[in-house]
Amino acid sequence: MASLKPKIEEKRWKPELELEIQKVWEEEDLYKFDLDSDKPKFSIDTPPPYASGKWHAAAAIHYSQIDMIARTMRMKGYEVYFPFGVDRNGLPVEVETEKRYKIRMFEYPREEFLELCRKFLDEAEMDILSISKRLGLSADFKNYFQTDSEMWRAVTQATFIYAWNKGYVYEDYRPNNYCPRCKTTLADAEVEYKEMPTKLVYLKFRVEGSDEEVVVATTRPELLPACEAVIYNPEDKRYKWLKGKRVITPLGKAIPVMEHPYADPKFGTGLVMICSYGDRADVQLFRELKLRPTIIIDEHGRLNEKAGKYQGLTIKEAKERIIQDLKEQGFVDKVEVIQHRTPVCWRCKTPLEIIPMREYYLKQREFVDDLRKFITDKLVEFHPEWSATYWMNWLNSIDSDWPISRRRYYSTEIPIWYCKSCGKPVLPEPGKYYRPWREDPPFNKCPHCGSSEGFIGEERVFDTWMDSSISPLVYNGYMWNPKMFEKLGSSDLRPQGKDIVRTWLHYTFLRVYQLTGKPAFKHVWISGMGLDEKGRAMSKSLGNIIYPWPLFEKYGADALRFYGAAQAHLGSDFRISEEKIAGVFKFLQKLWNVSRFISHFPEPDKPERMTPTDLWILGELNEVIRDSMKGYEDFDFFDPANRVRGFVWNVFAPHYIELVKDRAYGSVPNEEEVKAARWTLHYVLRSVLKLLAPITPHITDYIWRKMYRGSVHKELFPEPRDEWDTEYLKLGKKLMEFNSYVWKLKKERGMRLSEPISLEIPEELEPFKGDIVRLHKISGAGGGI
């Protein structure tokens, strides 16, 4: 048919075309959120990516999947609020800034250090924004949020003041995780564990009033000056005779021997020294056994005057020195090297110490029961369902409140001033951003004692999770846009990685519950982690980071997006392999070619009657739609991606299209049959494009705009139609097998596929006879089979 010209002229799909379509989207402001729309609203609590370094491909894929959620909900008829924010608070940027400028934060003027951090953040932010846009995220980049903006920080402070007024905040002096390098307290959620080779030192203790010796094994000999007891397991018969006795430490101090089940008879000699504080267990044991702690480590990670001759040494130095000394004095029985799980700082990986400090705490223990109900009473829907156990496990392990003050700089300041006369804390009115370390308070009289002597500003800042844990409120207008917040409330869905359940997810639920009395979200979506080809997490130290830009250039964003969707079910980890992304690109090319072929033909009105071949493929399409929608319901894009790919590649293109080619070209006499084929081709293509639109938004919209009216992203998902669930669906497999059989047969006989062949068509395939005969050029009955 010479008169048929394809609407799609380009022979190939190219990644550069994605930029073209992105420009169109921007010009049309296609994804603009309309608060006043009549549609139901759906708001997403987009994770603000941390602006501390370059994004790797795994992060890009993660965000592309969040974008798929937004697009899914739009195509289900919702008005979707998909904000974008950048996280710019906290330790990581300080650590990176120190590294880059080779400076130490505490030896640098605070104001100037903050300026350097800001510079660093601005650069990192640029990188994140450009990748996000290149990915085709349908988020609102025009009004993106920054967690260190005056507005966000004012809200953080206001929510703190509310919590304070409700009595949820208290200050306490208690042992806590402390990073000697970062010089700050850390919450349990910020502690990581690393397997490290550690010396296990066997020390001889003399039993008081006798010449007998016992041997105690310890990984922390430097804490000997702080050793206040030795324990053994009550089941351990070897040490029963020590009950009630005292032993003399190598340093000459007499301490009691006690029974406690914490002692593991199999570890070391079964005798354990209890020091203030080797680890969190020690803290508990001191409390239980009513021992008085001796604190020998200061906030710089050095031993203090209570450590006697070891004063001034770092922990590491003290350890070596004391082992040396004790060896010389004959107190060391032996030294072993064992693998020991050591708690380290999540940011700089320095081993942590347990040091008591005055810190502010936000109550969480008394809320745990209520939070558990979010899961048990199904107030929140988790995707996938089992991912709720991540949070449940964390809730079940909470045994202390959340320390929220940090001795750092680049974070939201704690809005408190202390009266110079009575020393009591005074908080300002919520609503403004306060910086007590450099500003005068907005009041001059102490409400506690009435003094006007003046105030001292608090110097500490908040844990960065204090800012991020209110993201669903800030995004949705809490305090800064009351009208919007009233309509939206807290976000509907939280998408995030499984690695920050105990921090971001938990703290958000906690704080939003404290502020609003309600669950922060209706849906929580937890994704797995993107790993390298060998299944390892990507990190600078391993040197296995895959960057997204080269992939964008070679295969485009859609290939990367589709790859992420098709690689693993929601919640499972997935590996990133360039070879497979190249494979996805081939599929996109296939989709392009299929569309180009169909674009040759005009799209007629729906004809009265379909042929059995058309009804078969429409029945297949019904199934594809049903299966895909099941995935979309759960925000799991694995099934839609794979189901549609399989359908297009293995069914629609090689079989249906081949069968109806002649009809499509108009080379059959029956006009109705021509129309039926053309209509069906277009209908299936439209449906496929719509089903793929959330996953591969560029190519689908590009094709759509070339062939049809408007944007595919303004369409709703296709729906299955009952009238197409016909008996022909069951014959489809037979039909395809027969096609393959004929192709094979011709090949075996050395025939061209266009050569006529004489064979019998199986009786059950009779309904498809016309199309089969034309496809294979079957000439009459007989012969063949």
Interacting residues of 415 by C-beta distance below 8 A, sequence separation 6+: 157, 160, 161, 427, 428, 434, 436, 458
CA distances in angstroms from 710 to 85, 367, 701, 706, 769, listed in the order given: 30, 50, 9, 9, 38
Least distance in angstroms from the C-beta of 20 to RNA? 17
Separation between Cα atoms, residue 18 and residue 702, nearest integer Å = 8
C-alpha radius of gyration, the chain, whole number: 34
Closer CB to RNA, residue 197 or residue 535?
535
Q: For RNA, which is the closer residue by CB, 323 or 598?
A: 598
Q: Residue 594 Cβ, how far from RNA at the closest point, in Å? A: 4
Residue 5 Cβ vs RNA, minimum distance, rounded to whole Å = 12
Instruction: Choose between 191 and 295: whose C-beta lies nearer to RNA.
Output: 191
H/E element, 257: strand 254-259
Based on CB atoms, which residue is closest to RNA, 189 or 272?
Answer: 189
Find out whether 614 and 681 touch, Cβ atoms under 8 Å.
Answer: no
Q: Name residue, tokens 């804490």.
A: 223
In terms of CB distance, is 103 or 668 closer to RNA?
Answer: 668
d(CA 316, CA 597): 72
How far is 414 from 693, CA to CA, in rounded Å? 46
Alpha helices (H) in 195-346, listed in sequence order: 280-288, 315-328
Residue 185 backbone phi and psi in degrees, to 5: -70, 145
- Which DSSP letter does residue 234 get? T
321 versus 774: smaller Cβ distance to RNA: 774
Q: Which residues bind RNA (CB under 7 A)?
A: 11-13, 188-189, 191-193, 280-281, 341, 386, 389-390, 393-394, 397, 498-499, 502, 529, 535, 537, 567-569, 571-575, 577, 579-580, 582-583, 585-586, 589-590, 592-594, 596-597, 600, 638, 646, 649-650, 653-654, 657-658, 661, 740, 743-744, 747, 752-754
Minimum CB distance to RNA, residue 746 (Å): 8
The nearest distance, CB 645 to RNA, in angstroms, is 8
Structure tokens at 735: 């039909």
- Least CB distance to RNA at residue 493 (A): 21
Which CB, 304 or 577, lies closer to RNA? 577
The encoded tokens of residue 392 equal 């449940």
Using DSSP bridges, classify how beta strands 425-426 and 417-419 pair: parallel, antiparallel or unpaired.
antiparallel
| Shortest separation between residue 60's beta carbon and RNA, angstroms | 18
Q: CB nearer to RNA: give 650 or 758.
A: 650
Taking the C-alpha atoms of residue 523 and residue 639, their distance in angstroms, rounded to an integer, is 20
In the complex, minimum distance from the CB of residue 588 to RNA, in angstroms, rounded to a whole number: 7
Of 375 and 657, nearer to RNA (C-beta) is 657
Nearer CB in complex with RNA: 30/653: 653
Least separation in angstroms between CB 425 and RNA: 30
Minimum separation from the CB atom of position 309 to RNA (A): 34
**Could you tell me the smallest distance in angstroms from the CB atom of residue 281 to RNA?**
7
Task: Tell me which DSSP letter residue 649 carries.
Answer: I
Q: Which two tokens stand for residue 344?
A: 């380290």
Closer to RNA by Cβ: residue 2 or 244: 2
Torsion of CA 251, 256, 261, 264, to 10 degrees: 30
Nearest to 727 by CA among 691, 761, 766: 766
For residue 361, the surrounding DSSP H or E stretch is strand 353-362
Phi-psi region of 263 (alpha: psi -120 to 50; beta: other; left: phi over 0): beta
